[in-house]
C-alpha cells in the first residue's frame, strides 16, 4: 500500500479556479489540500494579461444584462443562458471581492477600478462599444493569482506543490473518493483521500503546435475524467486568438486593440473594416481570426512567407504604452524583436483557449448523463475553470470572461462543496483496488527499452492537430487527421523513457502528460468531424452555415469507441427572458 493523506477536500490545480474554490472551503474551516504540478503562482493564470470583465460602469454606463447579451451572442448561442446569467449577474460582486482581498487594480483618476474596451462588448444589447474589462495594467492574471495565493496561506489551505495527479479514485457506486498523485521530488505515489475532489487543472491547448498556453497545459484533468469513464463536452470548440507572435506563440492581448491598436495587411490596409464594419478590430475573436486567415490565404499576409499580419499601436504614444501595456512591450521586444512604441507587431492566429471540457452544472458539480439519468451529478466530484464546461463560453469565449468564470464558479463550487460535506460527514470505504490502475500506468514507464520517444510522438500529435483541425476545418482533413492520430496512439505502446530515475524525473512527467494530451486530441477531432455546421470557433469549409435545427446542442464525447452523445442547449435563463438565436454580425 502507498502512503495516504486524508482531507475534507482535495483540489487539483493551483490556478485562479482552484485557489478561489480552495479559499471558500478553507474559510469555512475545512481541511483543504491543493495539489499543483508546479508552484501555484506559476499556473497559467499568471500570464493572463488583458483583464476580467464585469459591468461596473466605471468608465461608461453599463448593466450586467448587456454583458449577458454579449456573452450569449459571443458564444454563437451555444452557451447555456442560465449559467451565463449567473456569471454576469455575479461579476461585479466577484470583482469587488477581489479588490477587497487586495488585488492591485489599475485606477482611474477618481480612484475607481480602471476598465478598458474588449472585443464583443456592447451597450444596450448590441449598441455602441462598452468599456467593461477591469485590468491591473497588462498583468491582471498575475495580480489575481498572487492575491488568491496569499489569501489561501492566511486561511491555512495546505499546499502540495509539485505533486502530479494521476487518476481519480471512484467506488462501485460512482462516488469520487480522492486522487492518486505522484510526488515529483521523490517520485513516490501517494493517495489523497477526500470526500470532495475538485478538478481545476486548466486548459490543454498544447495539443496544438502553435499555442499561447504554457507547456504545463496538457489537459490532465480531462484525461483523468475520460479514464474514469466520464464524458467531455463540446471539445470541437477551441479558440484561436487572433494575435499570437508567429512561431513563438506568446500572446499579445486583445487589450492592445482595446487601447486603440488595429490590424494591417501587407498593403497597409485596415482590413477588419471589410469583415466587421461596426466592431472592426474589436469584433469577437473567432471573427478576427478568420479574417486574418483569409487575408493570409488571399496573399495579403506580411513577411517573406506572407504568413502573418501587423498590429499597430505606436500611434497611442510611448507613455501610454509603457503605462498600460508594459508586459506587451517586453514580450514583443523579446520574442518578435519589435518595440511597439516604434513599429507594428507581427501577429497570427494561435490556439488559445478550450471552450469545452468537463461538463458541470452551475454549482461546479460534474454531471454525467448515462449512469445517473439525465444530467445527474457525480457524487463528490467538482470541476471549475478552463478544464470545466458550464457552459458559459459556448462556441466562442469573449475576452476577460475566463478570469471571471474562475472566480464566480470557484466561489459557487466551494459553497456547494461545503454543503455536500455537511450532508456526507463520513468517508466512504476505499475500494480495495483504488490505486492499482495508476500504479500500473506508472510501472509501464519503467520498461527499459522501446522504439518510440515521447517528445517525437508529442510533436507529431501537435502537427496533426495544427494541420487538420485549425481555424478552418473540412471532413476529409479531419478524417485524415483521425487516421494519423491513430498511428501515433498505436506507437505509444512502444514508447519508453530513457531516464528512469525517481527524483524530479521530468521525462516521466512528459510521458504521463502525453497520456492525457492524446485522448484530448482525439476527442477534439472526433467531435469536430461530427459537427457538420459552422458555429463560433468551429468553422467548417464544407458546412459554412450555422444550423440551429440540427446543431443547437452540446456534444458529449466518451472514450469507449469514440462514442458521441448530445444534450440540448439551456436556452432559459434564471430570471430574465431568453435571447433567441439570431444571425451573428459585428
Ligand atoms: C497568455 C494567456 C493570456 C490570457 N489572458 C486572459 C485575460 O486577460 N482574461 C481572461 O479572462 N482570460 C485570459 N486567459 C485565459 C485564462 O487565463 C485561463 O483560462 C485561466 O487562467 C485558467 O485558469 P485555471 O485556474 O482554470 O487553470 P490554470 O491557471 O492553468 O491552472 C491549472 C493548475 O492545474 C495544475 N495541474 C494541471 N495538471 C495537474 C496535474 N496532473 N496534477 C497536479 N496539478 C495539475 C497546474 O499546476 C496549475 O496549478 C489567458 C490565457 C493565456 C494562455
339 versus 371: which is more confidently predicted?
A: 339
- Average pLDDT on 485-501 reads 96
Tens digit of each residue's pLDDT (9 = 90 or more) over 274-320: 999 999 999 999 999 999 999 999 999 999 999 999 999 999 999 99
Give the Cα separation of 513 and 166 in Å (integer). 9
The preferred substitution site among 11, 33, 48 for testing ligand 1, maximizing ligand atoms within 8 Å of CB, is 48
The preferred substitution site among 38, 43, 165, 331 for testing ligand 1, maximizing ligand atoms within 8 Å of CB, is 43
The answer to whether 51 is a known ligand-binding residue is yes
Q: Which residues are catalytic?
A: 285
**pLDDT value at 169 more than 60:** yes
Residues pairing with 244 in the sheet: 251, 348
Q: Give the cell for residue 225.
A: 475524467
Give the Cα separation of 13 and 45 in Å (integer). 11
Give the Cα separation of 193 and 27 in Å (integer). 20
Give the Cα separation of 401 and 143 in Å (integer). 16
pLDDT band at 465 (very low <50, low <70, confident <90, very high): very high
Domain shared by 442 and 344, yes or no = no
**pLDDT value at 413 more than 70:** yes
Q: What is the pLDDT of residue 516?
A: 98
The answer to whether 397 is a known ligand-binding residue is yes
Q: Is the peptide bond before 391 cis (omega within 30 degrees of 0)?
A: yes
* Own/partner long-range contacts of 366-373 (Cβ < 8 Å, ≥24 apart): 366/199, 366/225, 366/230, 368/230, 368/231, 369/231, 369/556, 369/565, 369/567, 370/565, 371/174, 372/174
Distance 187 CA to ligand 1 centre (A): 25
Distance 479 CA to ligand 1 centre (A): 30
| CA angle centred on 492, ends 454 and 186, rounded to 5° | 55
- Average pLDDT on 474-492 reads 98
Phi (first) and psi of residue 421, to 5 degrees = -65, -35
Q: Within a domain: residue 126?
A: no
- Average pLDDT on 319-344 reads 95
Q: Which whole-number Å values give the CA distances from 352 to 51, 52, 144, 289, in the listed order?
A: 15, 16, 20, 11
Q: Is 239 in the pocket of ligand 1 (CB under 6 A)?
A: no
Give the Cα separation of 106 and 418 in Å (integer). 34
Distance 231 CA to ligand 1 centre (A): 21
CB 81 within 8 A of CB 362: no
The answer to whether 575 is a known ligand-binding residue is no
Q: Within a domain: residue 91?
A: no
Give the Cα separation of 570 and 583 in Å (integer). 18
Q: Within a domain: residue 152?
A: no
Q: Give the cell for residue 114.
A: 480602471
The preferred substitution site among 12, 22, 44 for testing ligand 1, maximizing ligand atoms within 8 Å of CB, is 44
SS3 state at 472 = strand
How many domains is the chain partitioned into structurally?
Answer: 2
On the CB side of 115, CA atoms within 13 Å amount to 24
Q: What is the pLDDT of residue 353?
A: 97
The alpha carbon of 536 is separated from its chain's Cα centroid by a whole number of angstroms, namely 16
Q: Within a domain: residue 71?
A: no
Taking alpha carbons only, the member of 260, 195, 207 closest to residue 417 is 195
**pLDDT value at 364 more than 60:** yes
Q: Which whole-number Å values give the CA distances from 347 to 202, 306, 396, in the listed order?
A: 25, 11, 20
Tens digit of each residue's pLDDT (9 = 90 or more) over 51-103: 999 999 999 999 999 999 999 999 999 999 999 999 999 999 999 999 999 99
Percentage of the chain with pLDDT > 90? 96
Domain shared by 544 and 439, yes or no = yes
**pLDDT value at 37 more than 60:** yes
Q: Within a domain: residue 425?
A: no
DSSP string, 388-451: EE-SSSTTSPPTTHHHHHHHHHHHHHHHHHHHHHHH--SPPPPPTTTTHHHHHHHHHTT-S--S
Tens digit of each residue's pLDDT (9 = 90 or more) over 182-226: 999 999 999 999 999 999 999 999 999 999 999 999 999 999 999
pLDDT band at 374 (very low <50, low <70, confident <90, very high): low
**467593461: which residue's cell?**
132
**pLDDT value at 372 more than 80:** no
Q: Is 141 in the pocket of ligand 1 (CB under 6 A)?
A: yes
CATH number of the domain bearing residue 459: 1.20.58.100
Give the Cα separation of 76 and 397 in Å (integer). 9
The closest-lying atom of ligand 1 relative to the alpha carbon of residue 42 is 49
Q: Within a domain: residue 403?
A: no
Q: Within a domain: residue 263?
A: yes
Domain shared by 345 and 439, yes or no = no
CATH number of the domain bearing residue 300: 3.90.700.10
Global confidence as pTM: 0.97
Distance 355 CA to ligand 1 centre (A): 13
SS3 state at 14 = coil
- Average pLDDT on 536-558 reads 97
Q: Within a domain: residue 265?
A: yes
The alpha carbon of 185 is separated from its chain's Cα centroid by a whole number of angstroms, namely 27
Name the residue range of residue 259's domain: 247-349
Q: Is 519 in the pocket of ligand 1 (CB under 6 A)?
A: no
- Average pLDDT on 334-361 reads 96
Distance 363 CA to ligand 1 centre (A): 20
The answer to whether 202 is a known ligand-binding residue is no
Q: Euclidean distance between the first and final Cα of the chain, in Å?
A: 59
Q: Give the cell for residue 145.
A: 493569482
For 495-506, give the secondary structure using H, E and C.
EECCCCCCCCCH
Give the Cα separation of 397 and 400 in Å (integer). 9
Residue 321 is given by DSSP the state H
Q: What is the pLDDT of residue 373?
A: 54
pLDDT band at 375 (very low <50, low <70, confident <90, very high): confident
The answer to whether 386 is a known ligand-binding residue is yes
SS3 state at 252 = coil
Amino acid at each position: 500500500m502507498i502512503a495516504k493523506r486524508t482531507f475534507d477536500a482535495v483540489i487539483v490545480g493551483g490556478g485562479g479556479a482552484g485557489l478561489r474554490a480552495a479559499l471558500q472551503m478553507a474559510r469555512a474551516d475545512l481541511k483543504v489540500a491543493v495539489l499543483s504540478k508546479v508552484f501555484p503562482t506559476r499556473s497559467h493564470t499568471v500570464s493572463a494579461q488583458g483583464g476580467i470583465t464585469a459591468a461596473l460602469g466605471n468608465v461608461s454606463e453599463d448593466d450586467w444584462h448587456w454583458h449577458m447579451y454579449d456573452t450569449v451572442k459571443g458564444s454563437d448561442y451555444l452557451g447555456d443562458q442560465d449559467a451565463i446569467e449567473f456569471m454576469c449577474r455575479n461579476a461585479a460582486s466577484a470583482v469587488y471581492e477581489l479588490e477587497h482581498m487586495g488585488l492591485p487594480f489599475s485606477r482611474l483618476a477618481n480612484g475607481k477600478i480602471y476598465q478598458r474596451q474588449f472585443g464583443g462588448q456592447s451597450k444596450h444589447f448590441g449598441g455602441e462599444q462598452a468599456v467593461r474589462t477591469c485590468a491591473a495594467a497588462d498583468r491582471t492574471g498575475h495580480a489575481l493569482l498572487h492575491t488568491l495565493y496569499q489569501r489561501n496561506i492566511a486561511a491555512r489551505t495546505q499546499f502540495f506543490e509539485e505533486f502530479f495527479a494521476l487518476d481519480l479514485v471512484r467506488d462501485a457506486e460512482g462516488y469520487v473518493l480522492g486522487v492518486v498523485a505522484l510526488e515529483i521530488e521523490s517520485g513516490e505515489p501517494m493517495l489523497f483521500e477526500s470526500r470532495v475532489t475538485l478538478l481545476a487543472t486548466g486548459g490543454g491547448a498544447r495539443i496544438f503546435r502553435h499555442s499561447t498556453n504554457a507547456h504545463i497545459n496538457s489537459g490532465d484533468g480531462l484525461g483523468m475524467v475520460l479514464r474514469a469513464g466520464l464524458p467531455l463536452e463540446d471539445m470541437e470548440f477551441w479558440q484561436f486568438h487572433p494575435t499570437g507572435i508567429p512561431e513563438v506563440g506568446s500572446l499579445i492581448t486583445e487589450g492592445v486593440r482595446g487601447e486603440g491598436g488595429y490590424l494591417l495587411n501587407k498593403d497597409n490596409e485596415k482590413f477588419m473594416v471589410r469583415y466587421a464594419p461596426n466592431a472592426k478590430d474589436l469584433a469577437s475573436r473567432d471573427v478576427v481570426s478568420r479574417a486574418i486567415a483569409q487575408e493570409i490565404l488571399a496573399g495579403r499576409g506580411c513577411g517573406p512567407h506572407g504568413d502573418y499580419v501587423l498590429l499597430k499601436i505606436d500611434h497611442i504614444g510611448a507613455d501610454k504604452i509603457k503605462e498600460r501595456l508594459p508586459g506587451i512591450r517586453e514580450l514583443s521586444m523579446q520574442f518578435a524583436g519589435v518595440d511597439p512604441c516604434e513599429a507594428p507587431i507581427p501577429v497570427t492566429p494561435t490556439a488559445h483557449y478550450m471552450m469545452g471540457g468537463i461538463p458541470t452544472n452551475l454549482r461546479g458539480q460534474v454531471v454525467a448523463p448515462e449512469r445517473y439519468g439525465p444530467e445527474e451529478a457525480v457524487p463528490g466530484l467538482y470541476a471549475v475553470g478552463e478544464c470545466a464546461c458550464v457552459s458559459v463560453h459556448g462556441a466562442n469565449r469573449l475576452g476577460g470572461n475566463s478570469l471571471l468564470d474562475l472566480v464566480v464558479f470557484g466561489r459557487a463550487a466551494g459553497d456547494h462543496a461545503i454543503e455536500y460535506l455537511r450532508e456526507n460527514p463520513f468517508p466512504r470505504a476505499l475500494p480495495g483496488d483504488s490505486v492499482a490502475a495508476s500504479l500500473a500506468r506508472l510501472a509501464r514507464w519503467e520498461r527499459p527499452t522501446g522504439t518510440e520517444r515521447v517528445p517525437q510522438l508529442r510533436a507529431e500529435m501537435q502537427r496533426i492537430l495544427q494541420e487538420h483541425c485549425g481555424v478552418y476545418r473540412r471532413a476529409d482533413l479531419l478524417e485524415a487527421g483521425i487516421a494519423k492520430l491513430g498511428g501515433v496512439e498505436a506507437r505509444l505502446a512502444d514508447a519508453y523513457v530513457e531516464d528512469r530515475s525517481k527524483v524530479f524525473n521530468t521525462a516521466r512527467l512528459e510521458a504521463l502528460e502525453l497520456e492525457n494530451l492524446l485522448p484530448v486530441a482525439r476527442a477534439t477531432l472526433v467531435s469536430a468531424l461530427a459537427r457538420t455546421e459552422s458555429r463560433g470557433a468551429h468553422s467548417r469549409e464544407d458546412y459554412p452555415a450555422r444550423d440551429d435545427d440540427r446543431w443547437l446542442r452540446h456534444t458529449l464525447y466518451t472514450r469507449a469507441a469514440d462514442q458521441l452523445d448530445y444534450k440540448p442547449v439551456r436556452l432559459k435563463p434564471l430570471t430574465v427572458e431568453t435571447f433567441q438565436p439570431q444571425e451573428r454580425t459585428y
